[in-house]
Chain A
Amino acid sequence: MTKRFLLVITFLLAATGAAFAGDDAPAWLRQVATATTPTYPKDVPAVVLLDDERVTVTDDGKVVTVQQYAVRILTREGREEAFARAYYRSDDSIKVKDFKAWVIRPNGVRKFNKDEIADVALTDNDVYAEGRMKLIVAEDEVDAGMVFGFEAVTEERSVFTQFIHSFQVDIPVLVSRFSLTLPTGWRAEGLTFNHAKIEPTVSGSSYTWELRELGPIYPEPDQPAKTTLAPRVAVGYFPAAGAKAGEGQSFGSWPEVSDWLYGLSDSQAAPTQPLTTKARELTAGVNDEFARLSAIGRYVQGVNYISIQTNIRKGGGYRPHAAGQVFEKSYGDCKDKANLMRAMLKTIGVNSYLVSIYSGDRAFVRKEWASPQQFNHCIIAIQVGDSVQSPMVVKHPKLGRLLFFDPTDPFTPIGDLPEDEQGSFALVIAGKDGDLIQVPQNPPESNLDNVMLEAEVLPDGSVKAKMSNEMTGQMGSRFRGLHKSLSAADFQKYVNRWLTRSATGLQIGGVMVKDQRDQGRFTLEVDLAVPNYAPLMQGRLMMISPSLIPRRAQVSVAQPNRRTPIEIDAEAYTEIFRFKIPAGFEVDEIPEPVSLESAYGTYSMKCEAKDREVVVTRKLKLIPAVIPAESYGSVRRFFGQIGGAEQTPIVLVKK
């Protein structure tokens, strides 16, 4: 939820705020509020005293959840941690039965009344979604030292028999607990992620997983997703023999998940005449297999991304709209688009499968837990012949060669995948033959940023140059995304601001873009001029910074210490800058060559002067890795050495 959105709610709530003399907090909250907390660094805004989620499953599959939560505010900034929420759905498949919140202040207790509960749609970018939440925002009611607590009771009839409990978001936690009480004879199993295995305490058919005293997860640049850092448990339950958990589905293996999802989705991919005609029209006269797939892929990428989330209770979150309907309206969400592509491919005799994946954190999906709840996105795997050669092809023992493609990402062509999906586990939905497989990850050389610069340094210190910047793989996709998303004027501004980072007053003569999308290549050509780039000092010395074109992305190593791991993406850079030196000057100093090797990558820089030209060649290759905070010093050293090497100027003197 955006901060701006919270502000709107805060504003609305301010109009309804009311105080009650003699309010009291429940015993559990009063007791928790007495807890002493460790001394945290001064930038820790709040600490969770208790996050207790208690789930009771009845023998007809009804799930009642009671959550008790208390947070102590430590700083003024921590006030924004004082909020309560309870999720529900407008179709009544999840109901909020009770929702209360309190603030414990030095001078008494403040209980929130019903008028202060906001009811908020969870639409994000959806046109419509059934997901909603009850929300109490208490930011204006608390200050450092106070304790905010809430209790929520929800009732659900889920299509699943599985739960996820995250023990932490980012602030420290004193106690976090997940308890599950099942009917007699039923059993539960849990898996722990991002933490050593947590053994539950079991009492009859009640299970409890608990963690205590979790330190804060500090926000830092180039950090892995918090979902990879915060500990969580995934818990599944299984009815006693002969019993049934209402409508709840339980899964023992990935093929079972695949089979269930296949049952929901397969019939939706039936081709209709109009989409058949379109698919044939797109591929008419195209014989090359990859080119045929590209033609259809491009078409589906052009279908507008629009999400309408309804009928969730009956699996609407997992069932795409019928392909014919999506084709007719020319819009849909990720599963609609993947399903449309599947239907279109069918009409030209190509078999394919929907694929469930997690977008945003390639390490999120864990093989050990067979559950559809691990995914938030849908792509496609296409059966291809040997003529299709791509790093995104995986050979599956039962399904053959599969080419993975994301038709929702409008900028990544077929043959590549968005960066955050590469290397992730994904479920190929192919009935009982479906399984979880690991999507390939491109090598650094596939995400290449190749910059060639031909520059002429004039006697007054100004520079005229032509830059050609060819990008492949995800480098190209990112820039293609910018080019397609920004208006022409804003794109030029972006290029201008990027180049101005290393050359003040830079003027752009022209920007030319060459997008060879099907080849996964994007080229930018810029004519530029920079007055006073090489300032003339004392009328005889000229200093040329060899880094006229700044790198767009850099690993951030400005902070001296690091508290969380640092994530490095697979990328490669090749830069050849030629500086023609002005008449009457000669080279006095050039930077020494540098060659660095580390576990995170390699770097080389050489500078050569010959024939009135100085040529600077730099190569950087970054190996994808998640490096623990303890090794940050060596990462910092590596990138610090690169920074140092690139700042060393070329010095010319007047003859």
Chain B
Amino acid sequence: MKRLLIASACLTLWLVSLWGTTLADDWKPIDPAHMAQKTPSVDPNADAEIIFWEVRVDDSTADLVYNHYVRLKIFSERGKEKHGQVEIKYVNPIRIIDIAGRTIKPDGTIVELKKDAIFDRTDVKVSDVKLKTKAFAMPSVEVGSIIEYRWKEVQEERSANYVRLNMQREIPIQRVTYFLKPAEYPGYGMRAQMFNGNFQPFQKEKGGFYSTSMTNVPALQTESRMPPEDNVKRWMLVYYSNTDKPDPAKFWNDFGKRIFDVTKSYTKVNDEVRAAATQAIGDATTPDQKLERLYRFCQTRIRNVSDDASRLTPEERKRMKDNKNPSDTLKRGYGTGEDIDLLFASLATAAGFPGRLALIASRGRNFFDPSFADAYFLRSYVVAVQVGAEWRFYDPGVEHVEFGMLRWQEEGMQALIPDSKEPRFVVTPISDAKRSRAKRTGKFKLDESGMLEGDMRVEYTGHLARSRREALDDEAQAAREKYFESEVRSRMGAEVTDLKIENFDDATKPLTVSCHVRVPGYAKRTGKRLFIPVSFFQYGVAAMFADERRQNPIYFEYPWSEDDDVAISIPEGFDLDNAESPASFPISGDYGNYAAKASFDQKSRAIVYQRQFHFGKTNEIMLFPTSTYSVLRTIFGEVHKQDEHAITLKVK
């Protein structure tokens, strides 16, 4: 037996070495046109360009195997530096094997990547989990070289169900091709859903593979205020389905019924829930009042263990038991965000407002489109409550969300309301600009050198408050103060003292920040004049769109408004020099309004400035095509211009 094993091992080794030899020689011929190519063809400014990236995804065995083959051309020193070193990251038990590579120098000389130049690095190992990297430097790379490398990734006992395949990367690609070989699941077939590009239809290839390609794919660019990457990048979702061309309406109908069946027991009303609802509602009479009290009850009386700021240690979390129903959540006084939402749905039902857990996608990640008949994107949930004929949406399981609002990511999205008979999609409302408001007031004194000193106060509500609360809720008071202080200091070089934060943990009240500021050089002084920028709260704020050109659409997360009230008393010995007010204007397309007014109060000898600005329409996601960038840039440029309005004082 032992001899047989040795013989078998020898044969395996020989086969492996033979296979290795075959692989090493199995490079595709180099197209002379690529050797001669001096400039990139997809993006003229690219430092390097992928000539082709081929991936063979083989799901036909127990393991999921990817065979990558990349060939790229280097056009600049930057490209040489960036692509001369290759790192393939992976996590065990994934295996990266059969790495081979070579450099074809501009004179046609070929330099192979030696096996001993390939390093297998364990970047981090914790217990049995290893984050690893295969790293190597391509030899003899120079500008004009073609480099190519390939590797095999083996994921044991995995399937290609819900696998995301990138057609676009951070480097331009002349041609990207995926070859897919599906698993054979009786009754199920592999499907691929393409996003954000013109994909070629799948073609049948040898060996049971199907291929699709895309050519001339530009590099993925990131810009501020751009839509989520999933909505910009060209990519493909591979999954298995038992229907070839599903009817979306039927799919969602069936799916909504199934979800209703699965979740109905989780929102069950029993006597304890009913009693809790009655007690929480108290003397409230209108549906709004009742629901608000139930909402507050869930947010304040149940400890949210999903909250990253809950300050629970892993040990404490481990000791906590899972809640099986709303009654458990009530009794234990703690629960996950999902438990709290389920409890709210149950309490609302007990109060006569049928509540369901509705499935929803996050537009922070993707704009959901129900014409794609799969629940892959419906990964979040909110509570849908029926009030009369209307469905209203709440999410008490998420911290700092005001009653009547959702996280901005879930506003304006189609929520699937499960039902035993007629599930339906209902679009969640988008909170209007007034709900997310920064109300800012300041009373200051200007001295003759141009220094401004006084007190300011800002009240944030809605999404403006939540984003700050969420960013800082895990921080101590000192760090929160530091954050707000540096926000003021870095904008205008102000000295900030007596900073106070109020209502940080109480989402029913505006998040309020007040402080005393001293801003040397606030007004510009000449021999005879002082020029005073009146829009104190916009002083030092850069214009919104600095770049002249834009690659991606423009995306504002939610509508917002700003409401400023500023008084600046002027120094003795100066008078107004024919002061005028800044201009007001509506924003075209009904997207908002800018109103600013400056006046002089003789009694207090103060310039009084008021500014109201809002941007965003009710119930419209603010996604603008790239072609409108110059219009938006002009609008916000005009806002900025008016915000820089100065009033002139002259020496008496």
Contact = CB atoms under 8 A, between A and B. Distances in A.
Interface string A527-567: 00001100101101101010000000000001110000000
Contact of A504 (B78, B141, B580, B640): B640
Given A76-B476, A329-B140, A589-B529, A119 B122 contact: yes
A306 B543 contact: no
B120 to A, nearest CB: 9
A487 B142 contact: no
B137 A505 contact: no
A16 interface: yes
B478 interface: yes
B313 A484 contact: no
B637 A505 contact: yes
A416 interface: no
B647 to A, nearest CB: 8
A330 interface: yes
Given A537-B648, A592-B527, A496 B547 contact: yes
Interface string A255-280: 00000000000000000000000000
Interface in A581-622: 588-589, 591-592
Contact of A77 (B314, B476, B490, B637): B476
Interface stretch (B24-32, B123-131, B590-598): B123-131
A13 interface: yes
Contact of B119 (A119, A308, A328, A504): A308
B131 A8 contact: yes
Contacts of B490: 558
Contacts of B123: 120-121, 123
A9 B126 contact: yes
Interface in B626-647: 637, 640-641, 644-646
Please indicate which of the listed interface residues B47, B520, B531 has the most CB atoms of chain A within 10 Å of its own CB: B531
Contact of A304 (B124, B137, B474): B137
A259 B645 CA distance: 69
Nearest to A105: B313
B122 A487 contact: no
A93 to B, nearest CB: 18
Interface stretch (B80-88, B206-214, B371-379): B80-88
A543 B648 CA distance: 10
What is the interface of chain A mostly: helix, strand, loop, or mixed?
A: mixed
Interface in A634-655: 640, 643-644, 647-649, 651
A76 B474 contact: yes
Interface string B73-100: 0000110110011000000000000000
A643 B521 contact: yes
A221 B622 CA distance: 38
A644 B524 CA distance: 8
B313 A16 contact: no
A42 B139 contact: no
Contacts of A540: 578
A644 B594 CA distance: 32
A77 B474 CA distance: 9
B482 A43 contact: yes
B626 to A, nearest CB: 15
Contact of B136 (A5, A75, A127, A302): A127
B121 A76 contact: no
A497 B129 contact: no
B1 interface: no
Given A15-B129, A304-B81, A493-B547, A535 B637 contact: no
A14 to B, nearest CB: 6
A289 B427 CA distance: 76
A331 B124 contact: no
Contacts of A460: none
A121 B124 contact: yes
Given A305-B81, A505-B641, A592-B527, A119 B315 contact: no
B546 interface: yes
A106 to B, nearest CB: 12
Interface in A15-32: 15-19
B140 A19 contact: no
B80 A304 contact: yes
A98 interface: no
Nearest to A505: B637
A449 interface: no
Contact of B578 (A496, A531, A538): A538
A642 B432 CA distance: 46
Interface stretch (A138-146, A207-215, A355-363): A138-146
Interface string A509-542: 0000000000000000000000110010110110
A128 B142 CA distance: 22
Contact of A75 (B119, B478, B529): B478
A16 B315 CA distance: 11
Nearest to A508: B548
Contacts of A531: 637
A592 B645 CA distance: 24
Contact of A141 (B314, B493, B542): B314
A488 B45 contact: yes
Given A308-B119, A640-B520, A43 B478 contact: yes
Contacts of A121: 121-124
A644 B521 contact: yes
A651 B646 contact: no
Nearest to B143: A302
Interface residues of B, number: 68
A485 B78 contact: yes
A116 interface: yes
Contacts of B644: 504, 535
A191 B85 CA distance: 41
A174 interface: no
A13 B578 CA distance: 67
A595 B641 CA distance: 33
Contacts of A504: 542-543, 637, 640-641, 644
Nearest to A560: B495
A295 interface: no
A432 to B, nearest CB: 36
A122 B534 CA distance: 53
Which of B45, B126, B137, B526 has its CB near the most chain A CB atoms (within 10 A)?
A: B126
Nearest to A128: B119
A117 interface: yes
Contacts of B489: 558-559
Contacts of A249: none
Given A304-B84, A487-B78, A538-B580, A500 B140 contact: no
Contacts of A116: 126-127
B487 interface: no
A372 B520 CA distance: 50
Q: Which 10 A-B pairs have the closest CB atoms?
A: A19-B315, A128-B119, A17-B314, A76-B476, A119-B125, A488-B45, A12-B126, A538-B578, A115-B127, A306-B137
30 contacts: A13-B126, A15-B129, A17-B318, A19-B318, A43-B478, A120-B123, A121-B123, A121-B124, A143-B311, A304-B141, A329-B137, A331-B141, A484-B77, A487-B46, A489-B549, A504-B542, A504-B637, A505-B637, A505-B640, A507-B548, A535-B645, A535-B646, A537-B646, A543-B524, A545-B524, A559-B489, A589-B526, A647-B521, A649-B526, A649-B531
Interface of B: 45-47, 77-78, 80-81, 84-85, 117, 119, 121-127, 129, 131, 135-137, 139-142, 311, 313-315, 318, 474-476, 478-479, 482, 489-490, 493, 495, 520-521, 524-529, 531, 542-543, 546-549, 577-580, 637, 640-641, 644-646, 648
Given A5-B124, A121-B124, A505-B641, 12 more contacts: A8-B131, A14-B314, A18-B318, A119-B122, A123-B123, A127-B137, A485-B78, A504-B637, A505-B543, A535-B641, A538-B577, A589-B526
Interface of A: 5, 8-9, 12-19, 42-43, 75-77, 110, 115-121, 123, 127-128, 140-141, 143-144, 302, 304-306, 308, 328-331, 410, 484-485, 487-489, 493, 496-497, 500-501, 504-505, 507-508, 531-532, 535, 537-538, 540-541, 543, 545, 558-560, 588-589, 591-592, 640, 643-644, 647-649, 651
